[in-house]
A and B are shown apart, each in its own frame.
Chain A
Amino acid sequence: METCTKVTKEWLNTQEYREKNFAREKLVINPAKACQPLGALLCALGIEASLPFVHGSQGCAAYFRSTLSRHYREPVAAVSDSMTEDSAVFGGQSNLIEGLKNANALYSPKVIAMFTSCMAEVIGDDINAYLGNAKEQEAIPKDLPVALANTPSFKGSHITGYDTMLKGLIECLATPRQEDKINNRLYVVPGFDTYTANLREYKRLLKVMDAPYTLLPDQSDVLDAPNLGTYELYPGGTPITEMNDALNAASFLFAQTYSTPTTRKYLASMEVPVEVISMPIGVEKTDKFIEAVAKFTGKDVPEEITIERGRSIDAMTDSHQYIHGKKFALFGDPDVLIGVVSFLLEMGGEPVHIVCTNSTPLFKKAMESMLAASPYGQTATLYAGKDLWHLRSLLVTEPVDMLIGDSHGKWAARDADIPLVRIGFPITDRVNLHRYPIVGYSGVINMITMIVNTFLEEKDRTSTDPYFEMMR
């Protein structure tokens, strides 16, 4: 028995196992993706006094809330209409109506963000019609906005749900675009972003650049709320008035590509000017963000930003030697991967394995052309649609120096005896990382700090006496 265990354990690390593992067609093991409604919930939390409402089983709501709370270490409010077996037979309308009535009475939201989970989708509930009936029956006031999103878990992933809910919220809250009422603001959409500090960083940069802006959605004060001795259910978010005026935006700037296509398409159809950039991770991508904002304001980039950029470049040159030539494996969402890989290439780091479970053809093309254009990207392979058990095989057969990804990567990193630097979602086993931006020039400095100090920590931990040195 003992030998058998040992033999299998060793076999897991072989090339033969890797091939067998990559040959699987249907079984998914440790995927780096969650389902749509989680993203919808995150999106909904970023609007002022918005109450997320799950039309479906209550278990779904419990899972989304727990998962988000574990990452942010913050309260996450959401209700569900607790559909059960009889709803499967008769449909979920009576639950939806009663749920709306109670939720409104208890929580007095300014908007209810309703999204579906599997059950409602499979039985084909028509939430739009049900909502009409709820208002007809005066379960909620006729003028209470209720945004709708169909977010089945068997399509797309959490980033799709974010996008669908965002479109639903704008559709519900914004008044039609009127050419004589165009406001002067740049509406910046962060995308599925689980760093409250990223959102604060966007706002700081926009302020420094003197750009009138609306961050949409904005969870920074909701999911990084102060402890002032009282619990606030609605501690922040994009103001409703600015939501109302969203279609009159001077322009929209999307700071993520792959978590926003539906919303962009919708806005374009409403004749709202839309620009999309890569998530501003690393110097080049941040430059693009700054340029896009400068183009919008029509003003020169303030010197303060140039100096800030210079400080991040200084940090890069100071510590390039610790990253140059190092081999990396990464996994995560498409937008974050494009950004972090771009940053590594700027540092002379060599990405080797890139696993993206929720990849898309457009993302694959973008990633592969970015890698092909860099001398440091030549050894990299993008594994589209693969999971973390595939990643484990890659790490043990083609070793790298570091893994970058969320907390779920800790087993694969341990098996490969390499450090895991936590970037992504969810991070449930380290504190405060969401309070440090990975976007912007300060994000560059933070990522260098995390990656380089982890390497140096490893070096100190494993050095023998003569090589245990004061300077690194």
Chain B
Amino acid sequence: MSTRETVDFRKQVVEDVLEIYPEKAKKNRRQHIAVKDSECASCAVKSNAKTVPGIMTARGCAYAGAKGVVWGPVKDVVHISHGPVGCGYYSWGNRRNLADGEIGVDNFVPFLFTSDFQESDIIYGGDKKLEKIIDEVVGLFPNAKGVSVLSECPVGLIGDDIESVARRMSEKIELPVIPVRCEGFRGISQSLGHHIANDAIRDHLLGKGPAREIGPYDIGIIGDYNIGGDAWASKKILEEMGLKVVNIWTGDSTLEMLQNGHLVKLNLIHCFRSMNYIAKHMEETYGTPWIEFNFFGPTKIKESILKIAAQFDDYIMEKALKVIEKYAAPMQKVIDTYRPRLEGKSVMLYVGGLRPRHIVGAYEDLGMEVIGTGYEFAHNEDYEKTIPALKEGTLIYDDVTALELEEFVKKLKPDLVGSGIKEKYVFEKMGLPFRQMHSWDYSGPYHGYEGFPIFARDMDMAINSPTWKSIKAPWTK
């Protein structure tokens, strides 16, 4: 098929799939799907809008964005899931934000702390209970550096005043107590939860830490949650370049890192969607500059290393070039091993707020092509950054529904689908290789030079697994 034919075919696929909807839903969904077409300037993708009720979205809620994504990985803070037991239970141990520390002493990542609301708390309010809980936290966990209060739906609906509880208790226990108003009904996806979490850091922690001299090469990583050790893999490259990573937000993070996020020469922002608010704030208020970077796959890593080094002096640039040189051969070896097995294979992605564009280069390093991609909770600027990185004819879908994605996959027939746990087994039942691209399917890291060989191996393992060949019984027609 020529490129033009591909574009037209995929546009027709979109029209066909939209036929499943009643009129109102169809009108809504059409705005969220596009095919990249340089001849069509108006082919934009609408995003960050309410989900259509009843259509099986993969999206979560503000609590998931605030607790699950931003606050949960901060290891030396006790995070109270404030409200009924469920939200905390389902976000307990289910995100692979690894943290190094003594569990129960100065690392509370693998815990669920909940106020376990009962009916009486709904009727009489939970503020008194919250006070008592914070007291009990301090008594049982004396090394905790602070307490965050992550509100679940009922808290906002019954009109509890967690802000004043937090103020009072913070004075009493002489530690930061951070109220986070991330009730699940706020906003339209996880995205507002990220924003609310960023604002809570800004209002309660940033700039309130112990003062620190800023070294000439001090940098911070913002928006790397250390999934499967990703942040550690990124840190390794940066330190080999001669830079000093003093903060990571918020993978394997500490309260002090949040307080001192602005005390660096440069902030490197990885997940722009979840952390751009605070990065911009640090720049506006403290003059701390930030740039985006991408450590997926050797091509993007090299580009990013050069971009980062250009912000510093010759010493760093010289070291940066050495790092690139050092890893050139081992990365070429990975490509030589896997590219022949993966060349020309196509991928469809559907992930959160960053990876649908950031990881494209890593697939291309392996000779693979991304033919469809989309975000759960991106905003317009994310799509603006994505579209130039995509080939003509790529299908782009925002907040794609379960049925749309199934139909798109059936029609476009990719060799691999990369999405989340809710999608994984649907496609595997269809006999399609799949990798979870939120959790790295319990593998990883995928970032940095350390991650690329693992990424390449995993994609090869999925696509070329002999298990797919056994699906058809020999006696079936």
Contact = CB atoms under 8 A, between A and B. Distances in A.
Interface of A: 4-5, 8-9, 12, 17, 20-21, 24-31, 33-38, 53, 56-60, 62-67, 69-70, 73-85, 87-88, 95-96, 98-103, 105-107, 117-119, 122-123, 152-155, 157, 225, 227-232, 389, 407-408, 411, 415, 428
Contacts of A60: 61, 86-87, 184
A81 B140 contact: no
A76 B422 contact: yes
Interface in B41-95: 50-64, 83-87, 89-94
Nearest to A97: B53
A17 B402 CA distance: 48
B152 interface: yes
B85 A153 contact: yes
A127 to B, nearest CB: 14
Contact of A28 (B20, B115, B426, B429): B115
B137 interface: yes
B102 interface: yes
B429 A84 contact: no
B132 A20 contact: no
A35 B85 contact: yes
B61 A66 contact: no
B21 A106 contact: yes
B86 A35 contact: yes
Interface residues of B, number: 86
Nearest to B471: A229
Contacts of B93: 407-408, 428
B21 A88 contact: no
A105 B18 CA distance: 12
A135 B384 CA distance: 42
Given A154-B119, A229-B472, A118 B154 contact: yes
A63 B51 contact: no
Q: List the 8 closest pairs (A to B, CB-CB), nearest first.
A: A59-B61, A35-B86, A99-B54, A99-B53, A63-B90, A102-B54, A153-B84, A103-B54
A40 to B, nearest CB: 12
Contacts of A26: 115, 129, 132-133, 136
Nearest to B136: A27
Contact of B114 (A31, A73, A231): A31
Contacts of B472: 229
Contacts of B184: 57, 59-60, 119
Contacts of A73: 425
Contact of B85 (A20, A31, A100, A389): A31
A4 B141 CA distance: 12
Nearest to B51: A82
B84 A118 contact: yes
Nearest to B467: A227
A227 B428 contact: yes
Contacts of A79: 54-56
Contacts of A8: 102, 105, 142-143
Contact of A62 (B64, B102, B154): B64
A25 B61 contact: no
A406 B136 CA distance: 26
A63 B115 contact: no
Interface in B137-152: 137, 139-140, 142-143, 152
Interface string B392-432: 00000000011100100000000000001110111111110
Contacts of A88: 156-157, 185
Contacts of B402: 77
B217 interface: no
Contacts of B112: 29-31
Given A26-B129, A27-B136, A69-B424, A34 B53 contact: no
A469 B381 CA distance: 65
A99 B85 CA distance: 26
